[in-house]
Amino acid sequence: MATTPLAQEKVWFEKPMYDKAECLHFERLAKVDSIATFATTSGSSPEYGSRIVVLEKENQELKNIVAELKSIVGRLDERVKILEDRPPGIDPMRIAICPAKPPSPTPPKPTAKDDDDDDVDLFGSESEGEDEEAAKVREERLAAYAAKKSKKPALIAKSNIILDVKPWDDETDMKAMETEVRKIETEGLLWGAAKLVPLAYGIHKLQISSVVEDEKVSVDWLTEQIEAIEDYVQSVDIAAFNKI
C-alpha cells in the first residue's frame, strides 16, 4: 500500500510542542511591549525601563535561589526521617562517629613446644646455681653496710631560745643579773648575746639568747634555774623558741 509523503512527516505529531514554544515567544514579546508602553505612557525615561528589566532578572534569580533552598531542605528532611526511623535506644551520632569494633582475634592454640617451655622454672635455676662463695660475698657486703651506717653520727636536735628576764624594780643591777644568769652551766647549754629592753617607768628587762640540745636541756629546767636567782629576778618569759 502506497503512503503519501505527508504521512511520513513527524511535524504533525510534534505540533503541540511547537505551538507551546510559539505561545511562549509571543508572551515574551507582549511583556517587553507592555514594559515599553508603560515607560512611554508614564513619561519615564528609557533608563527606568531598563531598570525594570534588571529588577525582573534579579527576581528570577531569587526565585531560582529559593527553589534550590527548598531542594536542600527537602534532602535534610529525608535525612532526619531516616535518623528518626532508627531503633530506640541507639544514639545516631554515636553510630555515625564510632566505628564498629573489630572482632577480637582468636588466640592461637598452644603447641607441644609451648607446653614444654611452661615447665621451665627460670628463677629456680638461678637460685639453685648460686654457690656458697657468692652467698658469703653478699653477707660480707651487708655487714660492711651495717657497720658504716652505725658509725654515722646521729643528728642532734637543737633549739634557739630567747628569754626575757624581768627585774624587781629600776634599782636592780642589770649587769649583775646577767652575770648570775650566765653562771648557769650544764652540758648542752650555750649562752648567746644579751641586751636591755626598756619596759616602763625606767625599768629594763634582760633579753638573752641561748642554744640548747633538746635531749639534754629542757625549757622548764632552764626557766626554774633563772627564777631561782631571787635577789635580781622577778620572772622569766620565753620571747622566742625556734628549732635549729
Largest CA distance in the chain: 164
Looking at residues 62-66, what average pLDDT do you find?
85
CA–CA distance, 22 with 20 (Å, rounded to integer): 5
Q: Residue 42: what pLDDT? A: 54
Q: Which of 164, 165, 160 has the alpha carbon at shortest distance from 189?
A: 160
- The structural domains of the chain, with segments of one domain joined by +, span 158-243
CATH of domain 158-243: 3.30.70.60
Give the rounded distance of the alpha carbon of 206 from its chain centre: 56
Q: Is the pLDDT of residue 97 over 50?
A: no
Task: Please indicate, yes or no, whether the overall pTM of this predicted structure exceeds 0.85.
Answer: no
Kindly state the helix (H) or strand (E) to which residue 94 belongs, with its residue range.
helix 92-97
Among residues of the chain, what percentage have pLDDT more than 70?
Answer: 61
Looking at residues 114-132, what average pLDDT do you find?
53
Residue 197 carries which side chain, given as an amino acid letter? V
Among residues of the chain, what percentage have pLDDT more than 90?
Answer: 32
Q: Is the pLDDT of residue 95 over 60?
A: no
Average pLDDT of the chain to the nearest whole number: 76
C-alpha distances in Å from residue 170, one per residue of 198, 199, 203, 230, 234:
10, 10, 5, 15, 12
